[in-house]
Every structure is written in C-alpha cells, then in structure tokens.
Amino acid sequence: MGSSGKRILVIEDSPLVRNMYGLAFSRREYELVTASDGREALQRLGESAFDVVLLDLRMPGMNGVDFLREVRRLPELARLPIVLTTIEAEGSELLEAARQLGVTAVVRKPWHPQQLRTLIDGLRRVG
C-alpha cells in the first residue's frame, strides 16, 4: 500500500457485512482491518494507528456507544474520525448517545460502496 492510502478499522459483528466492506474497499489505496466487536477493536487500536474507523452501532458485548465512550476518553484517539454505520432510526437513544460522544458522520445501512469511499476519502485524521 502506498503512503497515500487510508488505514480503516471496520468494527462489525456480521461476517456478511464485513465481507461487503472488503469488497467496497478492495482497491489498493485502502488497507482494511476488521474487528467483530468493540473489545477486539480497542485491542486493534492499541496495536497500530488508523485513519478512520467504521463503527457498527448494534453489536453484542461492547456496542458502538460503549466503544465510543472508551475511545473518546483516550487523548490520542479523541479526534480519530469515526463513521457510524447503522439502521437505527433518527431519534433513537443509541444514535443520539453516539452523536453526543462525537461521531464524525452517520451512514445509513444499506450503504452504497461509492458513497462510503467518497466519505472516507474526504476525511482527514486530525492530531
């Protein structure tokens, strides 16, 4: 992968949806690392740096809101771009809690690969 590529951490409990992310970001300018839940994702974040996180909201164990709470407490990750992917309706408690914790953007499932790539390409890691 070239230095201009983006490292993306995908946090998604569904193997089918993780495969869809793999297809959407199969071009070589993206490096995709996956985690099946929030705890595994925190471990991955501790191991290396990422440019952006794609976060499922509803997952068993540590859901997206709990993951956001943990990440936003860490100074080195407080400004990491996190894109929430969800089927949640506007006004849901989980979605509102995620927004209050500082998600960068919200993308509705099912998403279109080009829509997601365009969004990711426009994000810049801050700090």
CATH number at residue 91: 3.40.50.2300
When pLDDT is cut at 50, 70 and 90, the band that residue 4 belongs to is low
Say if 108 falls within a structural domain: yes
Say if 47 falls within a structural domain: yes
CA 45-48-49 angle, 5° bins: 80
When pLDDT is cut at 50, 70 and 90, the band that residue 125 belongs to is low
Domain hosting residue 73, numbered range: 6-122
Say if 1 falls within a structural domain: no
The single residue listed with the structure tokens 């193997």 is 15
Say if 127 falls within a structural domain: no
Domain count of the fold of the chain: 1
Residues near 113 by beta carbon (within 8 Å), at least 6 away in sequence: 20, 23, 24
For the stretch 23-77, pLDDT in tens is 999 988 899 999 999 999 999 999 999 999 999 999 998 999 999 999 999 999 9
